[in-house]
Structure 1
Amino acid sequence: MTTAFTVTTRVTPTGPVLEYSGELDVAGAPAALAAIEKLTVLPGQQLVMDMTGLLFCDSSGISTLIAARNVTLAADAGIALAAVPHQLSRSLDLIGLADFFTTYPTTADAHAAWGTGPPAGA
């Protein structure tokens, strides 16, 4: 049984947060991409992708993470992943993308780190 993918967007003082839940696969990727395309990320802000509710992520989902990173880089902004599930963390490591994203245990941790300025390389 699959769990439908949902994405919720909210705005914080440091930038937008995308909250993912369910299964980010070929069926959920279009919704994830649509949410990314609707984002307004300003220079100096940080997009946080909160994965607390994410149950599964395949290559289609990983492609959407890369698309989000491209949007933030084009906006002269940063990106962070929060609460990355172990399976996704392992997949990112195996395909050589572990250092492609800054990760934090929680969205609050990502916001706190950004409050001290962008991490090196962001």
Structure 2
Amino acid sequence: MTSPFSTSTEPAETGPILTVRGELDVATAPRLRTGIGDLVLAAGQLLVVDLAGVTFCDSSGISALIAARNAAEAAEASIALVAVPARLTRTFALTGLSDFFPTYATAEEAIRQRQGGR
């Protein structure tokens, strides 16, 4: 059974939190790229991408996450991935992307780290 793909965005003090759910693959990655393109990021903000609900991610999905990082950098913002599923964490480690994406257990942890550990 496949999980329907969806995204939602909520504001946070440090920048948007983008929640991704379902299968992130060749069919849905373009929708994520569009959603990222619709975000308004300001210099110094943090884009948090919550992946807790991602049930599958292929190379197209990883490419869309790299595009999110590039969009954040272009806006002079930063990115943090949170609640990264174990399989995706392993893929990041095997491909050398684990150092490319800062990852945290929760959005709150990423935001707290961004704010200097307050």
Smaller-chain TM-score bracket: over 0.9
What's the secondary structure of 1:19's corresponding residue?
Answer: strand
C-alpha separation in 2, matches of 1:7 and 1:58: 17
Partner residue of 1:39? 39
Q: How far, CA to CA, are the matches of 1:105 and 1:90 in structure 2?
A: 15
The answer to whether the 8 A contact 1:9-1:35 is kept is no
Identical aligned pairs, as a percentage? 51
Q: Map of 1:22-101 to 2, 5 A cutoff? A: 22-101=22-101
| Matched AA of 1:53 | G
Q: Which runs of 5+ in 2 are unaligned?
A: none
Q: TM-score, normalised by structure 2?
A: 0.96
Q: Quote the Cα distance in structure 2 between the aligned partners of 1:52 and 1:85.
A: 6
CA shift for structure 1 position 81: 0.3
Structure 1 unmatched runs, 5+: 118-122
Which consecutive aligned stretches of 4+ in structure 1 deviate over 3 angstroms post-superposition? none
Could you tell me which residue of structure 1 aligns to residue 106 of structure 2? Answer: 106
**In the aligned structure 1, how far is the partner of 2:30 from the partner of 2:68?**
13
